A and B are shown apart, each in its own frame.
Chain A
Amino acid sequence: MTSPGAEVPLRRSLPRIPDRFAAFGAVLIVLIVLAALMAPWLAPYPDEPHPLEGSLPPSGAHWFGTDQLGRDVLTRVLYGGRTSLSIAVSVLAVSALGGVTLGVVAGYAGGWIRDVIMRVTDVFLAFPALLLSLALAVVLPPSVNTVILAIAVTWWPWYTRLAASVAASIATRPYVDAARCLGVPAPLIVLRHVLPNSLTPVLVQISLDAGGVILTAAALSYLGLGAQEPTAEWGLMVQQGQTLFTTNWWIGTFPGLAILVTAFAFNMLGEGLRNALDPRARTVK
Chain B
Amino acid sequence: MLRYLARRLGQALLVVAGVVVLTFAVMRLVPGDPAVAFAGPKATPEELAAARERFGLDDPLPAQLVAYVRDLFTGDWGVSLRTRQPVREDLYLAFPASIELVGAALLIAVMVGIPVGVLAARYKTKFPDFGVRFGSMLAVSVPVFWLALALQLIFAGKLDWFPVAGEYDSSLDTTSPLTLWTNITVVDALITGNWPIFTSTLHHLALPALVVAAYPTGVIAQMTRATLIEESGQDHARLERALGFGETSILTKFALRPALSPVLSLIALVFAYSLVNGFLVEAIFNWPGLGRYAAESIRSRDTPAIAGVTLLVALVYVLANLVVDVLQGFLDPRARTR
A binds B: yes
> When the two chains form their complex, are residues A122 and B18 in contact, meaning their CB atoms are under 8 A apart?
yes
Chain A minimum-CB-distance residue to B318? A126
How far does the alpha carbon of A264 sit from the alpha carbon of B142 in the complex, in Å?
8
Contacts of A268 in B (CB 8 A): 137
User: Nearest-CB distance from B117 to chain A (Å)?
Assistant: 12
Chain A minimum-CB-distance residue to B274? A128
> When the two chains form their complex, are residues A222 and B145 in contact, meaning their CB atoms are under 8 A apart?
yes
> When the two chains form their complex, are residues B313 and A21 in contact, meaning their CB atoms are under 8 A apart?
no
Interface check B232, CB cutoff 8 A? no
Contacts of B314 in A (CB 8 A): 126-127, 131
> When the two chains form their complex, are residues B230 and A280 in contact, meaning their CB atoms are under 8 A apart?
yes
- Complex interface residues of chain A between 225 and 254 (CB less than 8 A to chain B): 225, 235, 238, 242, 245-246, 249, 252-253
Asked whether A131 and B310 contact (CB < 8 A) given A139-B29, A218-B143, the answer is yes
Interface check B303, CB cutoff 8 A? yes
How far does the alpha carbon of A141 sit from the alpha carbon of B30 in the complex, in Å?
10
Asked whether A263 and B26 contact (CB < 8 A) given A119-B14, A252-B146, the answer is no
> When the two chains form their complex, are residues B219 and A123 in contact, meaning their CB atoms are under 8 A apart?
no
> When the two chains form their complex, are residues A128 and B273 in contact, meaning their CB atoms are under 8 A apart?
yes
Contacts of B138 in A (CB 8 A): 260, 264
| Interface residues of A, count at CB 8 A | 49
Our pick among B18, B137, B266, B280 for the contact of A126 (Cβ within 8 Å) is: B18
> When the two chains form their complex, are residues A128 and B14 in contact, meaning their CB atoms are under 8 A apart?
no
Overall SS of chain B's interface: helix
> When the two chains form their complex, are residues A238 and B146 in contact, meaning their CB atoms are under 8 A apart?
yes
* Stretch binding the partner chain, chosen from B56-64, B167-175, B220-228: B220-228
> When the two chains form their complex, are residues B306 and A135 in contact, meaning their CB atoms are under 8 A apart?
yes
Interface check A37, CB cutoff 8 A? no
Contacts of B22 in A (CB 8 A): 123-124, 127, 132
Chain A minimum-CB-distance residue to B158? A246
Contacts of A253 in B (CB 8 A): 146, 150
Contacts of A280 in B (CB 8 A): 226-227, 230, 262
Interface check A58, CB cutoff 8 A? no
Our pick among A219, A224, A284 for the contact of B266 (Cβ within 8 Å) is: A284
Chain A minimum-CB-distance residue to B29? A139
> When the two chains form their complex, are residues B137 and A267 in contact, meaning their CB atoms are under 8 A apart?
yes
Our pick among A130, A224, A256 for the contact of B146 (Cβ within 8 Å) is: A256
* Stretch binding the partner chain, chosen from B46-54, B185-193, B293-301: B293-301
B250-275 vs A: 1/0 string, CB under 8 Å? 00000000000010001001101101
How far does the alpha carbon of A253 sit from the alpha carbon of B137 in the complex, in Å?
19
Contacts of B26 in A (CB 8 A): 132, 135-136, 139
How far does the alpha carbon of A263 sit from the alpha carbon of B144 in the complex, in Å?
12
| Interface residues of B, count at CB 8 A | 63
How far does the alpha carbon of A252 sit from the alpha carbon of B219 in the complex, in Å?
26
B28-39 vs A: 1/0 string, CB under 8 Å? 011100000000
B130-174 vs A: 1/0 string, CB under 8 Å? 000100011011111110011011000100000000000000000
Our pick among A127, A140, A224, A235 for the contact of B143 (Cβ within 8 Å) is: A235
How far does the alpha carbon of A21 sit from the alpha carbon of B314 in the complex, in Å?
35
Interface check B67, CB cutoff 8 A? no
Interface check A103, CB cutoff 8 A? no
Residue with the greatest number of chain A CB neighbours at <10 A, chosen from B14, B140, B277, B303? B140
Residue with the greatest number of chain B CB neighbours at <10 A, chosen from A21, A134, A267, A280? A134
> When the two chains form their complex, are residues A271 and B14 in contact, meaning their CB atoms are under 8 A apart?
no
> When the two chains form their complex, are residues A225 and B14 in contact, meaning their CB atoms are under 8 A apart?
no
User: Nearest-CB distance from B8 to chain A (Å)?
Assistant: 12
How far does the alpha carbon of A260 sit from the alpha carbon of B149 in the complex, in Å?
14
Interface check A120, CB cutoff 8 A? yes
Our pick among B23, B29, B143, B229 for the contact of A219 (Cβ within 8 Å) is: B143
Interface check B5, CB cutoff 8 A? no
How far does the alpha carbon of A223 sit from the alpha carbon of B27 in the complex, in Å?
19
Q: Which 5 A-B pairs have the closest CB atoms?
A: A123-B18, A256-B146, A263-B141, A264-B141, A128-B276
28 contacts between A and B (CB under 8 A): A21-B133, A119-B14, A123-B22, A124-B22, A126-B15, A127-B19, A130-B276, A134-B276, A134-B279, A134-B306, A138-B298, A138-B301, A139-B26, A139-B27, A219-B280, A222-B143, A222-B280, A224-B299, A235-B145, A242-B284, A245-B149, A245-B153, A253-B150, A260-B143, A264-B137, A268-B137, A279-B226, A280-B227
